[in-house]
Amino acid sequence: MILLFVEFLLSNFEKNDTGYYGEAQLEHCSRGLLNIQCYVHKVSLFDCHYPQEKMQQSNFLLFVVLTVLCVRSAHTCMCDFTHPQNNFCSADFVIKATIVKEELKFGDESMDIPFPLQKNYTVQFKKRDIFKGSSLLGSSDTLVIKTSGTPWNCGETFTLNKEYVISGFVSDGEFFTNNCQWNPEYLTLEPHQRRGIRYMYEQGCNCTIHHCRGENCDFPQSLNPDQTCIWPGSYNTNDCYAKYGFCLPDIFGVCYWKQNRMLGGCLQREGGVLP
């Protein structure tokens, strides 16, 4: 029960831009863990928060262990830094769909877990908005997509009645996604990204986009340079290359960044260049 309560505390926190929890959140988590000590030792909250030295010593180990668990849980979900084209190409399905229903799945009553273990989203879509995986989707215009119920297990969250591009994978005939997939709200996409999901990204699925920072780019030996586009710059999933870039093969099968006016203009404003 203690570990479950720790996870419940974490479910109410928001990550910062790096994907980790900030100092304020961890401080709040620590205060919550102190309250857990009160519960374990059946001590009033006043006495617990203003403890005597003896109680501090007896509870120190418990507090340290729980704090470590809190920090560890906060870092559970970590995603690779991936270009939208790579996400498109690695997904089993990609659709534009409207969220019409959310169903929260809790454990049975004996587990007494205060947060959902799974979220099931019913989505509605049109046939023309199936960008990948049409053979997997059948003839229906609705679909149930499953995701973890908690953010630290990479559970995705959608808003009812909004339209998203949803990508994911299929396992045993069931459809899944998580927040490591590319699931943007459709209205937030740039025109080039909309072109990408409709036909451009698929043309580049034999290419790989490799993100690299600094002058000394760490180029993995496992990648073929002729089939790879280098994605330079900061860790920003909405930079020039993500918004306007297509990595496509030329007539010889060598992959390159396809130049276009929007990409060139964005790089000029940001001080970047095509690699």
Q: Which residues are annotated as a binding site for Zn(2+)?
A: 77
3-state secondary structure of 156: coil
Pairing of strands 174-176, 142-148: parallel
Cα(130)–Cα(135) distance, integer angstroms: 10
Cα(67)–Cα(79) distance, integer angstroms: 23
Q: Find, among 232, 164, 222, 149, the residue nearest to 197 by Cα.
A: 164
Q: Do 21 and 82 form a contact (C-beta atoms < 8 A)?
A: no
Cα(239)–Cα(152) distance, integer angstroms: 26
Q: What are the Cα distances from residue 130, in Å, to 28, 137, 186, 199, 244? A: 43, 9, 14, 11, 21
Q: Do 191 and 172 form a contact (C-beta atoms < 8 A)?
A: no
Cα(109)–Cα(226) distance, integer angstroms: 56
Q: Do 144 and 120 form a contact (C-beta atoms < 8 A)?
A: yes
The binding site comprises 77
3-state secondary structure of 16: coil
Q: Do 236 and 193 form a contact (C-beta atoms < 8 A)?
A: no
